[in-house]
Structure 1
C-alpha cells in the first residue's frame, strides 16, 4: 500500500488510462484492421504483390536492395532510441537539477523528487519497449532477406516444383510482420509524447493520451495515403 501512496489517486488514474489507451488501441488496430482496411493491412497486400513479382525475376538484386532499405528505418530508430535511453538514465542521475528546471516551467504541477523520478522511469520503460520492437523488426527483415535469397529460380516455379503463390505469401507475410513490429515501435514514440505531458499535470497527461490515440486512428484508418493506396 505504501507504493500506491507515492502518487495521488488522480495521477494513478491518468497513468492507468494511458496504458489502457495504448494497449487498447494496439488491440483495436489489429481487430478493426481485419474488418476495415487499415494502412498496415493495405500495404501488406502490396508486399505480397511485390513478392509475387519477385518470383518472376532472376536475379533479384532490386528486391534485396529494397529489403535492405526497409531494414534501415528500424536500425536508425533503434540507434536513436539508445541515445534517448542514455539521456533518460543521465537524467535519473541528476534528478535534483532536472526537477528544479522543470519547476521553473509555467503551469507545471509541483511534485516531489520521488514522483519526478517515477515519471522519468515511465518514459524510460516506453523507450526500452520501443528499442526491443525496433531491434526485433530488424531481425524480421533479416529473416525476410533469407527467404528472398532462397527463392527458387522462375523456371522451378513454372515447372510446378515450387508453389508460386504459397512462397510469395510466406515472404510477404514475413515482410508484413517486420513492418507491424516497426509500427509498434513508432507507436511507442507517439505515446512517449503523451507521457511527457504528465510533467505538467495528470489532466494534461490524459488529454495528450486521447489526442495521440486520435492522431494514430486518423493516420491508420483515415489518411489520404490510405485512400490513394486503396484507389484501385
Structure 2
C-alpha cells in the first residue's frame, strides 16, 4: 500500500482536529468570552458609530484596510496552489529531498502525490474562504453606502440596521478566520511528508495554538476590558 496504517491514523486525527475544533469553537463561543464573540460586539458598536457620521471617509479607509488583508491572502493562496501543482511534476525531486532527511520515513511516488493532494485541497478551501470574505466586505460597503444618517441613535429601526451591518461584517471576519485556519493546518499537513508521528503532534499543536489565541490570549482580555469600559460609560 502507498500509505501505512500509521499514516491513515494520522490523517484521521488531522481531520478530527480540524473539524472538531471548528465545531467546538463555534459552540463554545455562544456562552464563553472569546475573540469571535467580543469582536462581534465591537463590530456592532462600530456600525452604530457609522450611522452617527455624515462623512464616512475614515470608516471606508478602515474597511478598505481589512479588505486589503483578505485580498493579500487570496492572491498568495493562488501562488501557493501553483507551487503545489508544480510539485506534482517534480515528484522524483521531492522524493530525493525527503530521502536526504534522516527523520523522514521511506516514501514512494503515490504517497507523495497523496500528500500533495491534501495540501492542494487545503489551499483550495482557503481560497474559497478568502474570496467569500472579500465578497461579504463588498456587501458591507453597499450597506454602509445606503445607511442613513441617524438623527437619534435610540431609533429601533436604525439600531437594527446597524446590528445587521455588524452581522455581515462578522460573517466576513469568520470567513477570513477560516481561511487563516487553513494556513495553520497546512503547516501540520506539511509535516506529514517527514513522519506520521510529526503529523499527529503538529495537528495537536495547531489546535492548542488556536484554542489559546481564541480563548486565553492577552489580546482577548484587552478587548473584553475595552467592552466593559464602554459599557461603564454608557456609550
Whether TM-score is above 0.5 comes out as yes
Distance in 1, matches of 2:17 and 2:105, equals: 23
2:2 and 2:108 in contact (8 A); partners too: no
Aligned to 2:128: 132
What's 1:227 paired with?
221
Q: Which residue of 2 is the match for residue 95 of structure 1?
A: 91
List structure 1 runs of 4+ shifted beyond 3 angstroms.
157-160
RMSD: 1.4
d(CA) in 1 for partners of 2:25 and 2:47?
A: 25
Q: Distance in 2 between matches of 1:199 and 1:65?
A: 42
- What is the match of residue 232 of structure 2? none
Q: Give 2:26's match in structure 1, choosing from 27, 30, 37.
A: 30
Normalised to the residue count of structure 2, the TM-score between the two structures is 0.93
SS at the partner of 1:71?
helix
Indicate the residue corresponding to 1:208 in structure 2. Answer: 202
TM-score (norm 1): 0.94
**Residue equivalent to 1:51:** 47
| Count of residue pairs brought into register by the alignment | 226
Q: Structure 2 stretches of 5 or more lacking a match?
A: 229-235
1:52 CA drift (Å): 0.6
CA drift at 1:158 = 6.7
Please state how far the C-alpha of 1:159 moved relative to its aligned partner: 10
Choose from 182, 190, 200 the match for 1:188.
182
Q: Is the 8 Å Cα contact of residues 48 and 153 (structure 2) preserved in structure 1?
A: no
CA distance in 1, matches of 2:153, 2:179: 40
Partner of 2:49, secondary structure, is: helix
* Structure 1 pair 62–108 and aligned structure 2 pair: CA distance change class (3 A): same
> Could you report, residue by residue, the CA deviation over 1:167-221 in whole angstroms, capped at 9, with x for unpaired residues?
1100001000000000000000000010011011111100110000000000000
Structure 2 match to 1:199: 193
Cα deviations across residues 102-158 of structure 1 (Å, max 9, x unaligned)? 211121011111101111110111111101100100001000111011101224x67
Structure 1, unaligned runs of 5 or more? none
Quick one: structure 1 residues 16 and 158, their matched pair in 2 at CA, closer, same or farther if it must change by over 3 Å? Answer: closer
Q: Which residue of 2 aligns with 1:73?
A: 69
Could you say which residue in structure 2 is the equivalent of 1:142?
Answer: 138
2:3 corresponds to: 7
Structure 1, residues 35-83: CA drift from partner, whole Å, max 9, x if none?
A: 1011111111100000011111102221111111111111000011111
